[in-house]
Amino acid sequence: MKKTDPLVFAATSDLAGITRGKAFPLSKLDSRMKKGVGWTPTNVMITCFDHIAPSPYGSLGDLLLVPDATTAVDLEFDDNAPVERFVLGDITDLAGTPWDLCTRSLLKAALDRLQQVGGVSLLGAFEHEFQFHGEVPPGPQGYSLNGFSQRRAFGETLMSGLEQGGLENDTFMKEYGTNQYEVTNGPSKGVRVADDAVILREVTRMTARHHGESITFTPIRDPAGVGNGVHIHMSFLDGDGAPATWDADGPSGMSALSASFVAGVLKYLDSIIALTAPSAVSYLRLTPHRWSAAYNNLGFRDREASVRICPVTSDDPEKIARQYNFEYRAADAAASPYLALAAIIHAGCQGIEDNLPAPTVTQEDLSLLSPSTLAAKGYVRLPQSLEEALERFEGNETVCGWFPKEFAPVYVAHKKGELSVIQDMDESERCAAYEGVY
């Protein structure tokens, strides 16, 4: 008898930022690339707590989840366990039209808009922080060689897993928080930027499992502790593939295109944050003095800003142009990378379309300013709960208009369903609930 019949898992990263899908025999991969696997509309209402929020679709309808061969991941660990195989894909209707609630298709539409309004494509990467469960091992931890070395074996398996997953390895380090580590990968183009982020999260979880450990990317584990951020790095390439983000004479080095893009992101930040930091506990992280993001400001190398102009390591203009990038910091791993990036790209496109002027960079602690001074400078305190974030999202016609008509009501209904599960929990119970998921 043949020992096993390998299976491939075809996956979508859904509204809850969970990777869900179905497996089929590897031998059928070619035909499944064409015909997909069956998918059900109501699946989109399965919240992160695995309960179904009231669904507009009920038991009706059929969709296809069509794998994209370029995202296939084959992970062979050293422990005689079966090879982990998965592939990301798009959800379509039976005629092959992208489904209005397919997060990956929504990102593709946002990237098309960027090409149309800005004539540029995206080069970017997600940076992830996560924490191991269990006791803190002895010795110094934050950024230490000791803390790194205690997880070197994990880090090296992870690097090789990411490489097998088609990512370009960059860094692995002991972050500051309790049992907290950070992993970064090299930049990719277009939709692959978010594919990389989905693959990285799953490969990190699998690596932990194969090492007999468990990890969490949850936005925050303890209201008094450090958060796990997802920082999204972005730059632009023109039609010839040349960098288009930097201009030596632009304000803080921003090209006119990137200045308007960032201005759009800041203008709409309070209304898109429900898509980039979409859990109830995300808002415990997005508070001042946590090196996350609490206001809609642009910082020059400032880690308390929502959008940060990152440092460059050269004074050669060609190298600066290639390195210069922005980092969006008001995101976490409760968000599907596709949705978070789609929202940011649309906000930037709106800024380009409206020809918004360059935002000024802040170099002060905005939490010390009175609400009237803040307002006079054009800053808002970002929403402080998911409920508030959802209200701003739903209430902003421009923002809802960037997506297919069905998207906003379905997304909000999904999130309200999620909130109903935790409504009677206190902060630490909520943190524990999300930690159990992400």
Question: Looking at 209, 303, 381, 416, which residue binds ligand GLU (CB under 6 A)?
Answer: 303
Our CB check for ligand GLU shows the closer of 233 and 285 to be 285
- Quick one: CA dihedral 393, 117, 89, 166, positive or negative? negative
In sequence order, which ranges of 137-238 are alpha helices (DSSP H)?
Answer: 145-150, 152-164, 192-210
Residue whose beta carbon is closest to ligand GLU: 229
Partner from ligand GLU, Mg ion, none contacting 104, C-beta within 5 to 8 A by type: none
Q: Is 285 a residue that touches ligand GLU (CB under 6 A)?
A: yes
- Coil, strand or helix: which one is 268? helix
Q: Is 333 a residue that touches ligand GLU (CB under 6 A)?
A: no
Our CB check for ligand GLU shows the closer of 303 and 416 to be 303
Alpha carbon 86 to its chain centroid, in Å, reads: 19
Quote the least distance from Cβ 331 to ligand GLU, whole Å: 9
As a whole number of angstroms, the distance between CA 430 and CA 222 comes to: 10
Quote the least distance from Cβ 303 to ligand GLU, whole Å: 4
**Residue pair 411/52 in contact by the 8 Å Cβ criterion:** no
92: left (phi over 0), alpha (psi -120 to 50) or beta: beta
As a whole number of angstroms, the distance between CA 262 and CA 253 comes to: 12
- At 59, give phi and psi (nearest 5°): -95, 10
Partner from ligand GLU, Mg ion, none contacting 303, C-beta within 5 to 8 A by type: ligand GLU
**Residue pair 247/299 in contact by the 8 Å Cβ criterion:** no
Quote the least distance from Cβ 186 to Mg ion, whole Å: 17
Pairing of strands 84-92, 7-13: parallel
Helices (H) and strands (E) in the chain, counts: 14, 16
As a whole number of angstroms, the distance between CA 404 and CA 140 comes to: 50
Query: For residues 165-184, which are near Mg ion according to CB under 5 A?
Result: 182
Q: Is 304 a residue that touches Mg ion (CB under 5 A)?
A: no
The count of other CB atoms within 10 Å of the CB of residue 173 is 17
Query: What binding mask, one character per residue, do residues 375-414 give for ligand GLU by CB under 6 A, x or -?
Result: ----------------------------------------
- At 305, give phi and psi (nearest 5°): -95, 150
Question: Looking at 227, 278, 348, 351, which residue binds ligand GLU (CB under 6 A)?
Answer: 227
Partner from Mg ion, ligand GLU, none contacting 227, C-beta within 5 to 8 A by type: ligand GLU
Run of H or E residues at 236: strand 230-237
What's the distance, Cα to Cα, between the start and end of the chain in Å?
39
Quote the least distance from Cβ 176 to ligand GLU, whole Å: 7
Our CB check for ligand GLU shows the closer of 254 and 305 to be 305
Question: Looking at 164, 291, 354, 380, which residue binds ligand GLU (CB under 6 A)?
Answer: 291
Closest to 231 (Cα-Cα) out of 313, 104, 130? 130
The count of other CB atoms within 10 Å of the CB of residue 98 is 17
Our CB check for ligand GLU shows the closer of 221 and 329 to be 329
Our CB check for ligand GLU shows the closer of 76 and 365 to be 365
Applying CB under 6 A, the span of 160-168, 225-233, 235-243, 410-418 interacting with ligand GLU comes to 225-233
Q: Is 292 a residue that touches ligand GLU (CB under 6 A)?
A: yes
Query: For residues 181-240, which are near Mg ion according to CB under 5 A?
Result: 182
- Biggest alpha carbon–alpha carbon distance for the chain: 75
Quote the least distance from Cβ 376 to Mg ion, whole Å: 32
Partner from Mg ion, ligand GLU, none contacting 291, C-beta within 5 to 8 A by type: ligand GLU
Query: What binding mask, one character per residue, do residues 115-134 give for ligand GLU by CB under 6 A, x or -?
Result: --------------x-----
Q: Which residues bind Mg ion (CB under 5 A)?
A: 182
Contact residues: ligand GLU, CB under 6 A: 129, 226-227, 229, 285, 290-292, 303, 329
